[in-house]
Amino acid sequence: MADAKDKILNIVFEEEEEIVGGLKKALSSNKVQRCTISTVEGKIKDFDINVFIGGAFHPRHFDEEYRLTSISGTFTEKGNLGYKGELTVSLAGGGVKMLGGDLLNAKASGELTIKAKILETK
């Protein structure tokens, strides 16, 4: 699932794999203490995202497929609490041309790759 090289961890998700939980699992199995996420290639579907509407964030669910155009985030391992962090994404597709916010959960639509820059290992 993941391959660490030159302090970059390539995490590849297959069709229907859960992104946020799978990312945390890959970080744990590769003994990553802290990392940043800034590169993604692929599409997601069946996802929840916090969008900013009317001065506040609101969770919204989307079933259709969207292409990830950008991603950013930092994850840190917090002992018994597991990994803490969030993924902020920009998306294109569906009935809305562009969409962005904090990704709460999602499934891969086809193959999806996330690259994590490892800042610290256990």
Domain 2-121: give its CATH code. 3.30.1330.80
Provide the pLDDT confidence category of residue 52 given band limits of 50, 70 and 90: confident
Rounded to whole angstroms, the Cα distance separating 83 from 23 reads 10
Give tens-digit pLDDT for 56-67: 889 999 999 999
Q: Residue 36: is its pLDDT beyond 60?
A: yes
Would the pLDDT of 96 be above 80? no
Token representation of residue 118: 């490892």
Hey, where are the domains in the chain?
A: 2-121
